[in-house]
Amino acid sequence: SSKASSQILSVFGIPQISWASTNADLSNKASYPFYFRSVSPDSLVMKVLAGFIANLGFALANLVYFDASFQTGQSDDFRLAAESLPTLDVMTFKVPNSGAGGAAISEVNKLEVRKSLRAIQQTGCRVVVGVAINEEAFDLWSEADALGMVHSAGWMWFGADGISGGQIAGDLSRVDLFEGSIFIITSSQGPDFQKFADQWAADMPTTDVPEFTTMPICKDGIICQGEADFTGR
């Protein structure tokens, strides 16, 4: 992980630049003095998500998350952001994680997930923030959908990491499960991107511009393989 590698690299004064690690703890320069990133930390992303929900006029939201480190960090960031808003209260539901990297939910843990989802039904609030990644996200949404909580009238689901290969697992029909859910992710190119590209060209004249700045993206987040309908530029 970025936390472990940065602590080792900092001993030797070697900087680390990440394009994907979003944990808010990594912003602590006392602990990670040589860590830098080009993606927004979860603390900022969750602040935007909480503000978005409040601006929609909702005064209450259910937060369901898995008790792994990454998901717990995101849920803590969302709760802190909501606490700073006078108009948004949060009811929290923690469910057991079934393995590293958002592993598929085990049959035993599905019982706990269903218990939490039924408890959410009893709150009378149909706004749900689901903090889950990869296969566990698909399983969470599937269990909720089976209880009539995803595509039924009045329910609104939010997430933080978007729909990626981990949730889809090579089956594009899975996208239908997430239809109507709202995810918040940072833009791949911010307003200062051109300044970055120009500085890169000046400082690194013998290297190509990083491929993620121009990598073509096709439908459903799949990297283009001869299908040039959408470049993402």
Burial class (CB within 10 angstroms; exposed 0-12, middle 13-18, buried 19+) of 128: buried
121 pLDDT band, cuts 50/70/90, is very high
**What's the confidence (pLDDT) of residue 191?**
74
**What's the confidence (pLDDT) of residue 189?**
65
- Express each pLDDT in 62-76 by its tens digit: 999 999 988 999 999
- Long-range contacts, stretch 35-43, CB < 8 angstroms, 24+ apart: 35/2, 35/6, 35/10, 38/196, 39/186, 40/186, 42/73, 42/74, 42/77, 42/160, 43/77, 43/80, 43/81
Residue 111 vs residue 209, higher pLDDT: 111
H-assigned helices in 56-97: 69-83
139 pLDDT band, cuts 50/70/90, is very high
**DSSP category for residue 216:** -
**What's the confidence (pLDDT) of residue 119?**
98
Mean pLDDT for 168-187 is 82
- Express each pLDDT in 145-158 by its tens digit: 999 999 999 999 99
**What's the confidence (pLDDT) of residue 230?**
36
> Is the pTM here over 0.85, yes or no?
no
Average per-residue pLDDT for the chain: 83
231 pLDDT band, cuts 50/70/90, is very low
Report whether 56 contacts 105 (CB < 8 A): no
Rounded to whole angstroms, the Cα distance separating 159 from 63 reads: 10
- Express each pLDDT in 3-62 by its tens digit: 788 888 888 888 888 766 777 777 788 888 888 876 778 888 899 999 999 999 999 999
pLDDT value at 229 more than 80? no
